[in-house]
Structure 1
């Protein structure tokens, strides 16, 4: 904005809400969008997203999503408003647990020699934790551990597949109450060097911790991580 003040800046803030004390709109973003099945849904919202920002941007989006002249006066609520409100009420606590889990993961895996982004001491801007595992086998083992700790479909074994939009196979672990809700425990990544897996979520800190410990257990059982004596 300082280089070109008239440019419209939109920020996709998925995974970033409630992590910091300021939001993108506080720093000049014209429009901020996100998903209710991530941070701000608190693990309860089963669908939906949000758009906020300047009056001009919000009105343009409303007209585009409904009809010119109708804007925000129409729209489906699907009878789900209590879940939206309750999820939003719980969202800061849920996000704090996921953030604590990400910091725990970085501390644990860095101590075992696996590079992490962000590292254990860096300032956080979202809930995502990347762990560089160095091999296909290690990625699969990590994801098996996350899946095994899930409250839903814990018996499922994640397998790589040709996901649309990627030029490499992708492995994904997610056993969630709401499909695609990555504020719940999940991990995924494209299977290619440097073989980094992206971990996020956990509706509670305890569940996030369990998932990380299960991922390490699967790596140890496969002989891919050496635990200290």
Structure 2
């Protein structure tokens, strides 16, 4: 069976051209995958992960050796003092919220230096929504520094902001979220941290690492971040973990975050893993492979869509630091059409037609194509975005490179 046989001739021709065009980028991602897989394998060997660690626990989860060894594996891979990896984290937003509440006391100050926070984080902070339970309700002051016109950190004004505001916690959002600005590379995050330390040496640097794990060979925790956070629905779970999130960083911060997740006196020591531990452990082992496949798919999608004059960012040959591919479509109707095309070529619910709707934590209606095995998983192929200018849809994930190639190629043909 030739999977391209039913595609229009012009699309088939474009695929052949793109396959040749992107070979240097694909080879670079393969090299990263090798090195990241070696790093993860070494951690599994060093921490002596055993078959007995896959079984999980019930009740209080006391003496859960699998949970404890997974924390150590994450800490070694991310080069941190400690980690907190738990199925009790219900989403990336929840994980980030626990991290911020763990780092901040009433009366302290939080500053985002990478522009306005992602939609769901705005309710956590208290910028939108009712404010109940938000950081601001607890007396935590908040501000953010707008990005410059190039979508980069505005160092020209950031120094004054740091001097005047004197933040206790600096937050950096690595990925673009629902924003067409570029995602930030680890080298750029290192530059941010160095700059910040000149003005507020004792501030805690907290990095939202969602979508970024294993997209490069170093992580923000290796260039000065005190705490990083991510979701197991994304890179680190590899499509196998069905729930959960992680925090990794300084020992004292991880202990405070564990107390926020559970309770004083419990902290890191309880929390049943149930049937989740096997998938969390195996998912992390496969994470370099799944992330690499997703990024290769994004490179292919960018190159193919550009062939047909779609506005994409990043371009196929630009540096990659996460797995998100933005396609700017210009109208709400085109966004919905694109989402329907991706859904049509999904392994789950391919017969469903996505429609814009309201979602918890978002101010605008969202259209979302996600024919995924794990609900909401964005390491699996999905396409979503808010119906607002510039009407961009965010293509992300893909457990296999082949699936992304097939789905995007057919979606492109359908739209054309």
TM-score by shorter chain over 0.5:
yes
Residue 28 of structure 1 is matched in structure 2 by: 224
Please list every run of at least 4 consecutive aligned residues from structure 1 whose deviation after the TM superposition is greater than 6 angstroms: none
Pairing partner for 1:65 from 261, 270, 287: 261
Equivalent of residue 110 in structure 1, options 286, 296, 306: 306
User: 2:35 aligns to what?
Assistant: none
Are 1:219 and 2:415 matched, yes or no? Answer: yes
Q: Which runs of 5+ in 1 are unaligned?
A: 221-229
Instruction: Tell me which residue corresponds to 2:355.
Output: 159
Matched pairs, number: 220
Partner residue in 2 for 1:78:
274
**Per-residue deviation, 1:119:** 1.6
Alignment-derived partner of residue 137 in structure 1: 333
Equivalent residues in 2 for 1:38-57, closer than 5 Å: 38-57=234-253
Partner of 1:18: 214
Structure 2: unaligned runs, 5 residues or longer: 1-195
Larger mean CA deviation between 149-158 and 102-111 belongs to: 102-111
Measure the CA separation in 2 of the matches of 1:210 and 1:157: 19
Larger helix fraction of residues: 2
Give per-residue Cα distances to partners, 1:30-78, cap 9 Å, x unaligned: 1111111110111100001111100111010011111212211111212
- In 2: Cα distance, 1:115 partner to 1:69 partner: 53
Aligned residue number for residue 87 of structure 1:
283
- Give 1:26 shift: 0.5
User: Greater CA radius of gyration, 1 or 2?
Assistant: 2
> For structure 1, which segment, 185-194 or 28-37, has the greater mean C-alpha deviation from structure 2 after superposition?
185-194
Question: TM-score by structure 2 length?
Answer: 0.51
Aligned to 1:107, the other structure's residue is in SS state helix
Give the deviation of 1:105 after TM superposition.
1.1
Give the Cα–Cα distance (whole angstroms) in 1 for the partners of residues 413 and 234 of structure 2: 27
Conserved in 2, the CA contact under 8 Å of 1:148 and 1:214? no
What secondary structure sits across from 2:290 in the alignment? Answer: helix
Does residue 5 of structure 1 match 2:232?
A: no
Instruction: Give the counterpart of 2:392 among 188, 196, 213.
Output: 196
1:175 alignment partner, SS class: coil
Counterpart residue number, 2:367: 171
TM-score (norm 1): 0.92
Root-mean-square deviation (Å): 1.3
**1:108 Cα deviation after fit:** 1.2
- Distance in 2 of aligned mates of 1:177 and 1:59: 33
